[in-house]
Amino acid sequence: MKILSKAVIGIMALLSLVCMSCEKLLKVQPPANQINRGLVFEDQQTANAALAGLYAGIRENSIIAGDKLGPILGAYTDELDQHASTTANAIFDIYQNQQIESNSVVYTAWQSTYQQVYAANAILQGVESATKIVSGEKNRLRGETLFLRSLLLFYLQQHFGDIPYPRTTDYLDNGKLVKTPAAQVLRSLEADLRESASLLNDANSNTERIFANKKTAEMLLAKVLMEQRRWADAEVLLQNIIQSGQYSWEADLNKVFVKTGKHVIWQLKPSLDGVPTQEANIYYFGNAAPTGYAISANLYNAFANSDQRKQKWITSVTVGANTWYRAYKYKLTLNNSTEYSIIFRLEEAYLLLAEALANQDKVAQGVPYVNASRQRAGLIALPLTISRPELSDEILEENRREFFAEMGKRFFDLKRAGQLERLKQTKPNWKTFHQLWPLPQKDLLLNPALNPQNLGY
Amino acid sequence: MYKKYTNKRGASRRRILKIWLMIRLTTVVLIATLMQVSAASLAQRVTINQKKTTLAKVFREIHRQTGYDFLYAKGLLDQKRLLDVKAENEPLEQVLEKALSGQSLSFTIEDKMIVIKEQSFIERVVAYFDKIDVSGKVVDERGQPIAGATIKVKGTDLFTSSGVDGTFLIKNVNENSFLVISYIGFQVREVKAAKELGNISLLVEVGELSEVIVNAGYYSVKDSERTGSISRITSKDIQNQPVGNVLSAAQGRMAGVSIVQTTGVPGGGYDIQIRGRNSLRNKNNSEIDGNTPLYVIDGIPFGSELSSQYSTVILPGRSINPLNSIHPNDIEKLEILKDADATAIYGSRGANGVVLVTTKKGKPGKMRLAFNSSLAMSSMVSALEMMDTQQYLAMRKAAFANNNITAYPATAYDINGKWDQGRFTDWREALLGNNAISSNNQLSVSGGSETTSFLISAGHQQQTTVFSKDFNYKTSNLSSQLSHRSVDGKFQLNTSNSFSIQGNNMLRSDYTKQAFNLSPNAPSLYKADGSLNWEENTFTNPVASFNATYSNEQKQFLNSLNMQYTLFKDFQVKLSGGLNYQRFEELSLQPNTMYNPAFVSGQSSANSRAFKNNQDRFSFILEPQLNWTYKSGDHQLDVLGGATFQREVSELSSVMGYGFESNLFLGNIAAAKTKVIDDQISSEYRYGAIFGRLNYQFNNRYIVNLTGRRDGSSRFGPNKKFANFAAIGAGWLFGKEDFLSGADWLSFGKLRGSFGTAGSDNIGDYQYLDTYTVSTSSVYNNINGIIPSRLYNPDYSWEKTTKLEFALEVGLFKNLIDFSLARYINGSTNQLIGYQLPSVAGFASVLSNLDAKVRNTGWEFELSARPLSGKFKWETGFNLTLPKNKLISFPALEGSSYANQFMVGYPTSIIKLYNLEGLNPATGAYVFTDYNGDGKISSPQDNRVVEDLTVKYFGGWNNSFSLGNLNLSFLFQFVSQRNRNYNNGLTVPGSMNNQPREVLNAWSAQNPSAAYMPYTTLSSPPHLLFQSSTAAVSDGSYIRLKNIQLAYKLPIKTAVFKHISLYMQGQNVLTFTNYFGVDPEFTVLGFLPPLKTYSFGLEFTL
């Protein structure tokens, strides 16, 4: 047995010798398509690329993407009909106001938006510890990112009410995060947006108005304030935007959705040259019955015949005896070189200001801001003597006509005005609790701290 | 020398002349010896059976039996020389002759004294001239020739193989030597050399257990002496089956191995589980399934599945099985390593079992050309019956009536008069009713000399689909194999090369689901002019999807090289190496014509899209090994040590094109208006290990086997790269014990057991890095955006599985009946999974080790018997596996992200369901049990019924009957399980979807005790609950006639053909089941289930 043990020891010694260099043998090349996180914020260029990734993520893959917010909330309220050929699908349930907590559209909206919030937090953390980026650039990066995170959380809050407000990338903490009450969310958004506005300049960093600037942050801040019913504070901001001279009224209805317009406050640029906006594709159908979204009869009838928007922003499709209407604001489904997805435009600031003024009983001051878009569309001006409730009503209606199929504005306007109950007239399944969407079931199961579920679900 | 003359039966005449002089010189002595030998042989007979023994031992035994003494000079006998001596009541001198054969020793017997001397010069000269050419024919008991039998001249290096007709010829054989004739499955026979030996018949080996050599990966072991658990099937079971992947042929044949084919579309994947699911990581919660086995082909580990990018909607799970590239007829045997003893030597990759594929090798002998051709026809079968038009329309009308809708909506074309309500189309027949035709041709040439043999095989397979004949899957293989050994036997070399091309040209999306859901009165697919019918844009035409194609081409070169050199006695150095190059190209073409031209995407080729993905993977492996065998008396020791180094580089690049001038340019992305170059990903994987094995046997009865491995993998973070794995196995061949020597009925008996660990590193590369990824979909303002790659966790480490096994193997009545029983207990800890996180965390999961433990236990039972072995032969085999899977612990499961997916004390494949109590007879509403009594049915409060979807037991029963040239064999496969049924994916009854006839039993005032709620056209929350209720899971057990084969060997022998046989095969022929759904084996609705196939083939040999 001596020979045996000697032999075994010999073999093992030999093999261990071979393996002494194992550590070295296992060293691999880093992956070519990935960059170490630490290096990203060591360089201005890559930090910008991270921010570009966030803008693109919001455009492609968040609740406010052009093919999400507008059509989904349009169908949820009274703007759009959904003509899915099979009724058993998630968007049809939303259209029927029958969404349940496992609805996949609801889940995707929630999940994709929080993914972008994570990306924003990653940039905020990276910029914070960056050593080689100059402070001016650092401010811009932080300002834009804070704005984008606020935008995402604002729309989440509007859909879901109380929501978690993650501020870091720590998944252990975020995975157990409890909900922040809606009022507190709005207060935090206000703080974040004030900081963002203070870090950003009025000048656009790009002539195409595709990056957030100071006014963009203030526009969102105004919306946040209006949700808090702080009309006077909102008025100041909106006046400031309108009178800044940076933006001018677009008189031609045909040019409202053209990217070069001076009325554009902020728009998202499609991924590549020639690629159409998501809004142009999502509402399209031609020569056939719709299988997706079409303008509801209710909305179509809300336009007076003299309203130019009825001709210019809506088009009809007739098949046999049936005629359907589709939203035609964005027109290019091919070879798009002139349209970007507009998020904020001056018209919204006008109507928000009118609303802020009306709510402070400044009716005569408010009326001209409603008339601007009315008159452009060929409607007669409202008299300055109109009553306050009448004005509020006119603002709601004008918002509906001006912003149909855009950013889900109808839902948020009705909600802010406390008028969601109106939907009961046209939507048979509408219940009061539909003012909020259900928190996704999957996340409630993964993080029980998110309980309780929103009322009614 | 004198003795030799006396025994000479017939020297050649020309040699007699040559040695005449010598004979004269010794005449006197000759006569004397002759007398003595005869006397001795009359008096003494000896029975002896010693293996690997020494001369000294043989002499002692002869002394014991005869009382004769031996006399020889000290140092004359070579103590180290080992020989086998076997004699059954044979004359003493013949036994001595056998024992001394091949040694330069002679003997004389005087009185009771045997004198051993060195051969004199003359004797040697005589021996030199005394050479003859030996010829003969090896046959079996029935006189049928045995081709490829080895004929070896005992004590020399001379050997040959019998040809196809069983004949052989060995030149220059020492006239007094013995020939050892052996062939796998037959008893070894020794005959004395003679010029014309005539027919030498071999007896069938009694019992398969005795001398079958099992490939255990780094070493081979006799089946009777193995301590590990290894299942195997051989070419006998695989040959000629109408399948594209050997795993289909293995279904139901191996205990402990569950194989499920995931699609009936050719070129897809398999779900293979060896002794259950160890890892919690599956395709639902992770990119890479943590339960796939390691595939090793001719010693070369085959990389994991290539990740297909565009096959999501045609191949379930985008899975393409690695073994698709090997023609089943090229496979000699398939071995599956299951327990710790067998898998620990594969260390970090052995946790889920190891699948060893050995390809066919050439055999020495005459050159042989074989051709095999078959034609098969496959069709889709499902017992599910759907509603006809009348029933369907009645359902729809009732649904609208239930919803108080009297004016049918504009889009309800089936019922609002738009579509002809008198039409009826069986859409399964129309869309899936095509017979898929496959052809298979294979040619092989083999042959070789005593030292070198070769095999070259070329094959081509082609298969169309049940969707349409325009789509097909083709594979072509060319493989060659070469073996060489030096004349002295010290150097051995084996190399095999195989090149294969797989081309899969499919439609882009499997429309099986539509074939079940489409309204039976939906319009025709084509207009009279042959163009697609959109029925004025009211019809989403399913065959429009024919316009969109998914195709892939995989070229693969696989090489393996094994060299071995015997450095000195019983000590070998070995070098194994190999390389694997795969090139995979995928093309997904989505022309606008796949859509209705009325819609934006269908308008013009400006909306056409093309996607192309290329992957290259090159890997090489080097494994130097040392092997040492030590024998002393009853002790035998085998030592193996080795090291592994593997490097794999994968490159992936994809391009996309949007908008084409014409669809004719679709294949050329350069012609696209918008071109996007996606990630150019390259990744590297390195792997290094040392491993060893120590096997000790005592008295051929007691065996201990130790294996171990230290592994390093680049897939882990800096501090977690290395891990150790080891196992101990032991066996006791109790059948050889003296106390059982009287038990004639027991021909073999072994108890074995093993304990050890194995692991898994199948998690993908670079997962521990904290990085940003460049993303082509994240372009903003012409800046290529970068996005966080993943949540960062650098500290995860190896997943480990501990395996324990005990087994009993018994052969009865001369191995007429063999059975084995195994019990295994496996525990997996340190679960490495994508820990699911709520969306707020930013990513759906993070890779980390979970301190959860999964236990897989089970019983495996195998029985084989040969009830009839005469003219009419019957062989039968049965296997049964009873697996159990249980989640043993999961700290803080409640409150974790897995609370709704797993339960401690239950299997990992449970689902939680709502309890459907029935229907409210008054309203037809589903009544679910409201466990928490809050008046609301919700998760996780009310889905409390736990259904276990683990297979309860499974197995197979195969039989083979032969009578003369006719052979009939069949295999039944059976599985007992609960499975999700059709209700799980049921569309709302009453919506514009066809339904199974069972749904006719819906509630109405006249039918208050129905199974389904009243029809409705609206989406229905209760229906969603119903889909996740106890009604959606039911018995999914089945018995399937998996394979049946009838083969006939033509009784002709011409100058040209040596052998011709015809065969007919059926695959998935019959299924017995109560399952409510498309196919019980198959659980994913929406994809094509495995097909039923009949084939006819011909095989001949030249």
pLDDT in tens, B913-930: 999 998 888 888 899 999
The pLDDT of residue B345: 82
List all residues 6 or more positions away from A112 whose beta carbon is below 8 Å from its beta carbon.
Answer: A61, A62, A63
| Residue A278 in domain | yes
Q: Would you state the pLDDT for residue A360?
A: 94
Render pLDDT for A387-415 as a digit per residue (tens, 0 to 9).
999 999 999 999 999 999 999 999 999 99
Residues in chain A: 457
How many Cα atoms occupy the beta-carbon half-sphere of B538 within 13 Å? 23
Where helices occur in B69-223 by DSSP H, the ranges are 92-100, 121-129
Question: Is A47 a domain residue?
Answer: yes
Max avg pLDDT among A147-156, B624-633, B872-881, B896-905: A147-156
Q: Rounded to whole angstroms, how far apart are CA atoms B768 and B856?
A: 29
On whether any CB of chain B is under 8 Å from the CB of A87, the answer is yes
What is the rounded distance in angstroms from the CA atom of residue B1036 to the CA atom of residue B1074? Answer: 7
Chain A residues in contact with B780 (beta carbon < 8 A): 52-53, 55-56, 59, 210, 269, 271
| Smallest CA–CA distance from B784 into chain A, residue | A49
Rounded Cα–Cα distance for residues A80 and A69 (Å): 12
Of the candidates B598, B643, B674, which has its C-beta nearest A15's C-beta?
Answer: B643
The Cα–Cα gap between B812 and B745 comes to 5
pLDDT at site B915: 92
A19 — pLDDT class (breaks 50, 70, 90)? low
Per-residue pLDDT tens digits for A219-250: 999 999 999 999 999 999 999 999 998 999 99
Residue in A48, A174, A285 closest to B841 by CB: A174
Q: Are the CB atoms for B862 and B816 separated by under 8 Å?
A: no
Name the phi and psi angles at B521, rounded to 5: -100, 20
**Mind listing the pLDDT tens digit for each residue in B524-563?**
999 889 888 888 778 888 888 888 899 999 999 999 998 9
Element (H, E) at B5: helix B2-7
Q: How far is B621 from chain A (nearest CA, A)?
A: 13
Tens digit of each residue's pLDDT (9 = 90 or more) over B673-732: 888 887 788 888 888 888 899 999 888 889 998 988 888 888 888 778 888 888 898 999
Percent of chain B with pLDDT over 70: 93
Of B690, B783, B1017, which has the smallest distance from its Cβ to A48's Cβ? B783
Which of B608, B636, B772, B1015 is the best mutation test for A, with the most CBs of A within 10 A?
Answer: B772
Residue that wins the pLDDT comparison between B3 and B449: B449
Which pLDDT score, from 0 to 100, does residue A437 have? Answer: 95
Q: Are residues A369 and A304 in the same domain?
A: yes
- Residue pLDDT, tens place only, B566-608: 888 888 888 989 999 999 999 999 998 888 887 777 878 888 9
CB contact, 8 Å: A178 with chain B? no
Instruction: Look at chain B and count its residues.
Output: 1102
Burial class (CB in 10 A: 0-12, 13-18, 19+), A276: buried
* Rounded distance between C-alpha atoms, residue B169 and residue B195, angstroms: 9
Task: Tell me if B777 and A271 make a contact (CB, 8 A cut-off).
Answer: yes
Those residues whose C-beta lies under 8 Å from the C-beta of residue B950, and which sit 6 or more positions away, are: B276, B883, B884, B885, B907, B909, B977
Output the pLDDT for position B258: 87
> Is residue A336 domain-shared with residue A437, that is, in the same domain?
no
Contact A37 B792 (CB under 8 A): yes
- Rounded Cα gap, residues B1024 and B938, in angstroms: 11
For A269, the closest of B642, B781, B987 (CB atoms) is B781
Instruction: Count CA within 13 A, CB hemisphere, residue B163.
Output: 15
The answer to whether B206 and B335 are in contact (CB under 8 A) is: no
pTM: 0.74
* pLDDT top residue among A25 and B610: B610
Phi/psi for A145 (5° steps) reads -70, -40
> Is the separation of the CB atoms in B708 and B688 below 8 Å?
no
Q: Does A447 touch chain B (CB under 8 A)?
A: yes
Report CB contact under 8 Å: B641, A37: no
Instruction: Mark yes or no for CB contact A53/B780 under 8 Å.
Output: yes
Place of tokens 């009705």: A414
Checking if the pLDDT of B444 tops 60, the result is: yes
Task: Name which of B607, B777, B842 is nearest A56 (Cβ-Cβ).
Answer: B777
User: pLDDT digits over A151-182, tens only?
Assistant: 999 999 999 999 999 999 988 889 889 999 99
Q: Give contacts of A 94-123 with B, CB under 8 A.
A: 96, 98, 100-102, 107, 110-111, 114-115, 117-119, 121-122
SS3 assignment, position B164: coil
Provide the pLDDT for residue A113: 95
Q: Minimal Cα–Cα distance from A180 to chain B, Å?
A: 13
The share of chain B scoring above pLDDT 90, in percent, equals 17
One-letter identity of residue B16: I
> Can you give the pLDDT at residue B57?
84
Helix (H/G/I), strand (E/B), else coil: B212 = coil
Query: How many whole angstroms separate alpha carbon B80 and alpha carbon B932?
Result: 81
- What 3-state class would DSSP assign to A238? helix
Note the pLDDT of residue A422.
92
SS3 category, B282: coil
Largest CA distance in chain A: 114
Cβ neighbors of B21 (< 8 A, separation 6 or more) are: none
How far from A439 is each of A108, A123, A189, A447, B492, CA to CA, in Å?
11, 27, 20, 11, 69
Do B713 and A320 make contact, defined as CB atoms within 8 angstroms? no
Q: Do B637 and A171 touch (CB under 8 A)?
A: no
- Partnered with residue B1099 across adjacent β-strands are B372, B1061
State whether A273 and B992 contact (CB < 8 Å): no
Q: In this structure, are A340 and A416 located in the same domain?
A: yes
pLDDT at B683: 85
Task: Report how many domains make up chain A.
Answer: 2
Q: What is the DSSP string of A364-381?
A: HHHHHHHHHHHHHTTPPP
B457-481 pLDDT, tens per residue?
A: 999 999 999 988 889 999 999 999 9
CATH code where residue A309 lies: 1.25.40.390
Distance CA A208, CA A267 (A): 8
Asked if A13 and A152 sit in the same domain, the reply is: yes
**Do residues B1081 and B1040 touch, judged by C-beta distance below 8 A?**
yes
The answer as to whether A407 is a domain residue is yes
Q: Which residues from chain B sit within 8 angstroms of residue A206, using beta carbons?
A: 781
A171 closest CB neighbour out of B606, B712, B842? B842
Q: Which residues of A touch B644 (CB under 8 A)?
A: none
Same domain, A385 and A436: no
What is the arrangement of strands in the sheet containing B131-139, beginning at the earlier edge strand?
A: B167-174, B131-139, B196-201
The CA-atom distances, in angstroms, between B860 and each of A154, B228, B824, B1039, B1042 are: 60, 14, 8, 19, 20
> Is residue A217 in a domain?
no
Q: Is A203 on the interface with B (CB under 8 A)?
A: no
CA distance B682 to chain A (A): 6
pLDDT of A83 over the 90 cut: no
SS3 B773: strand
In this structure, what DSSP letter does residue B327 have? -
- Is residue A209 included in any domain, yes or no? no
Same domain? For A433 and A419 the reply is no
Count of alpha carbons within 13 Å of B822, Cβ hemisphere only? 29
pLDDT of A85 reads: 61
Q: Are residues A51 and A5 in the same domain?
A: yes
- Integer Cα distance of B860 and B271 in angstroms: 20
Give yes or no for A17 touching B (CB within 8 A).
no
Cβ within 8 Å, pair A164-B694? no
Each residue of A23-56: pLDDT tens digit? 677 787 777 778 888 888 888 888 999 999 999 9
Residue B37 has pLDDT above 70, yes or no: no
One domain for residues A331 and A269: yes
The residue written with tokens 């994913």 in the block is B1084
Mark out the alpha helices in A360-440 (DSSP H runs).
363-376, 388-403, 409-416
> What ipTM does the predicted assembly reach?
0.88
Chain A residues touching residue B773 (CB < 8 angstroms) = 33-35
**Shared domain check, A385 and A308:** yes
Over chain B, what is the mean pLDDT? Answer: 83
Q: Which residue in chain B has the smallest CA separation from A321? A: B410
Q: Inspect the interface and report whether the beta carbons of A86 and B710 lie closer than 8 Å.
A: no
Q: What is the helix (H) or strand (E) element at residue A125, kind and residue range?
A: helix A104-129
The reply to whether A212 falls in a domain is no
Nearest to B674 among A46, A274, A450 (CB): A274
Confidence of residue A195 (pLDDT cuts 50, 70, 90): very high
Q: Is residue A211 part of a domain?
A: no
| A365 shares its domain with A435 | no
Please report the pLDDT score of residue A93 as a whole number.
86
Contacts of B839 in chain A (CB under 8 A): 107, 110-111, 114-115, 440, 442-443
As a whole number of angstroms, the distance between CA A263 and CA A250 comes to 6
The pLDDT score that the predictor gives to residue A20 is 53
Q: Which residue, among B446, B254, B232, has the nearest Cα to B357 in the 3D structure?
A: B232
What is the per-residue pLDDT for B13?
52
Regarding whether A307 and A168 lie in a shared domain, the answer is no
Say yes or no to pLDDT of B835 above 80.
Answer: no
Tell me the per-residue pLDDT of A274-320, one tens digit each, with 9 for 90 and over. 889 999 989 988 777 788 899 999 999 999 999 999 999 999 988 77
Show the domain range for A294.
229-423
Quickly state the pLDDT bin for B211 (edges 50, 70, 90): low
Which residue is closest to B986 within chain A, CA to CA? Answer: A88
Number of Cβ pairs closer than 8 Å across A and B?
Answer: 297
What whole-number distance in Å separates Cα of residue B817 and Cα of residue B746? Answer: 10
Given this model, what pLDDT does residue B137 score? 86
Closest among B794, B769, B797, B651 to B713, alpha carbons compared = B797
Of B537, B792, B838, the CB nearest to A446: B838
- Tell me which of B781 and A187 has the higher pLDDT: A187
Q: Give the tens place of pLDDT for each residue, B930-961.
A: 988 888 887 777 888 999 888 899 999 999 99
| Amino acid letter, B719 | N
Q: What residues contact B425, with CB distance under 8 A and at least 6 apart? A: B518, B520, B521, B522, B524
Q: Would you state the pLDDT for residue B285? A: 67
Q: What residues of chain A lie within 8 A of the CB of B673, using their CB?
A: 274, 335
B894 exposure class (CB count in 10 Å sphere: 0-12, 13-18, 19+):
exposed
Q: CA nearest B299: which of B353, B265, B335?
A: B335
Contact B780 A31 (CB under 8 A): no
**Res B16 pLDDT > 80:** no
What span, in angstroms and rounded, lies between the C-alpha atoms of B386 and B862?
41
A11:B991 CB<8 A: no
Q: Is the pLDDT of residue B136 over 80?
A: yes
Q: Where is average pLDDT lowest: A375-384, B346-355, B555-564, B914-923?
A: B346-355
* Residue A434 shares a structural domain with residue A380: no
